[in-house]
Amino acid sequence: MAGMSVGEVAGRLGVSASTVRMWGRRYGLTASERSTGGHRRFSEEDFSRLLRMQQLVTAGADPAAAAASALPPGAAAGPGHGRGGPGGAVLAVPGADQRVRGLARAAGRLQEGVVTAAVLESLAEHGVLPTWNDLVLPVLVAAGEHWHATGTGIEIEHLLTQAVITAFTSFATIEAETVQVSSVVLAGGPGEDHVLTLHALRAALSERGVAARFLGPRTPMKALSGTVRLTRAPAVFVWATLPARLDAADLAALRVARRGLTVAVGGPGWETVDTAQATWCRSLEEAVAVLEASCRRTSHTA
Ligand code: B12
């Protein structure tokens, strides 16, 4: 078969021929063959790559990242958009499937765009819970173990974090709202920089139509109680990876800051704290269920 012309490919994708040419020039996604007259001829495989690029861009990926993900392994992207050379740190993910190994490889090579595109693609295809639990989590653990074992690679944790945040944030629907509309409040506890779980939680809640306010890392106790009071939040969720700097009295104080408030906590940092005044969530699924239930209770009593 002779392959497709630029015009035919453009027609099937619903874009202009100049866009297809530009993707070839700029990102290396071009025809693998030429006709005897020297014109580009696209195979079905070439077309599938362009289609994949288009889907990733539509899902929110930046075009260079989408192209890097669409190109076959080892292929050079267009000028200025290399996939990153070989080498980089090896993050061990024993027994993991191909997708997880690919993500770990991209993270080890500091290929931010590739990581973002892969996470976005998984979000679009599988949703938040499988993307977090089965794809992102094993690579985060591998990055942490690499740092722990070698004392190097903190840049991998930073880049991975950034790429995952970009993907989850662009996936979550962030509601435009007034203070009257009840949203749950998500925060990293005092001194806590680990907040990736909260990005996953916000995206999972938004998938279920539950709005959330995100206070981010290192939120002081005073800010937490002030926010739940002002916004009339039905629930607050506080994450701690490092030993939590809030104690039982702080959790009790949060509960009285707003009548009926659900106080939920998550993360290994709570292990040394008396959490009887709160609901301790052990997984993303559990946190989603607790926060969703708090919104249902509020809407029934409103
Ligand atoms: C990314 C990362 C960072 C980023 C954080 C960026 C960000 N915005 O979040 C940066 C680079 C800033 C960072 C900094 C530090 N980090 Co760090 N970091 C990580 C890494 C790689 C991933 C963290 C993460 O999100 N993990 C995913 C969560 C979910 O893992 P988890 O809590 O163990 O998950 C369990 C449960 O909580 C549950 N779960 C899973 N998902 C969810 C979701 C919800 C909602 C719930 C409720 C439960 C749940 O399942 C898991 C158990 O099966 C981890 C490695 C690791 N293994 O986690 C290290 C790690 C947490 N960091 C560590 C350390 C030591 C640090 C630093 C002190 C030094 C450093 N490495 O630079 C600083 C401290 C900064 C501070 N003051 O907070 C250690 C912590 C050891 C400890 N317990 O004391 C780890 C474990 C690395 C290691 N192996 O030593 N880090």
Burial string for 210-235 (b: 16+ CB within 10 Å, else e) reads: bbbbbbeeebebeebbebbeebbbbb
pLDDT tens for the chain, 302 residues: list them: 578 999 999 999 888 888 888 888 877 888 888 888 888 899 999 999 898 888 877 766 667 777 877 877 656 554 433 333 445 788 989 889 989 999 999 999 999 999 999 999 999 999 999 999 999 999 999 999 999 888 899 999 999 999 999 999 999 877 666 555 679 999 999 999 999 999 999 999 999 999 999 999 999 999 999 999 999 999 999 999 999 999 999 999 999 999 999 999 999 999 999 999 999 999 999 999 999 999 887 655 54
Long-range (24+ apart) CB contacts under 8 A made by 140-145 are: 140/164, 140/196, 142/91, 142/92, 142/93, 142/104, 143/91, 143/107, 145/92
Strand partners, 235: 262
- Residue 153 Cα to ligand 1 midpoint, Å, equals 14
Atom of ligand 1 nearest to the CA of 194: 9
Pocket of ligand 1 (CB under 6 A): 137, 140-141, 143-145, 147-148, 154, 157-158, 161, 191-197, 200-201, 241-242, 266-268, 281, 283-284, 287
Nearest CA owner, ligand 1 atom 69: 154
Instruction: Give the HSE-up count for residue 10: Cα atoms under 13 Å, Cβ half-sphere.
Output: 14
Taken in order of first residue, the domains within the chain and their CATH numbers are: 6-70 (1.10.1660.10), 98-171 (1.10.1240.10), 184-301 (3.40.50.280)
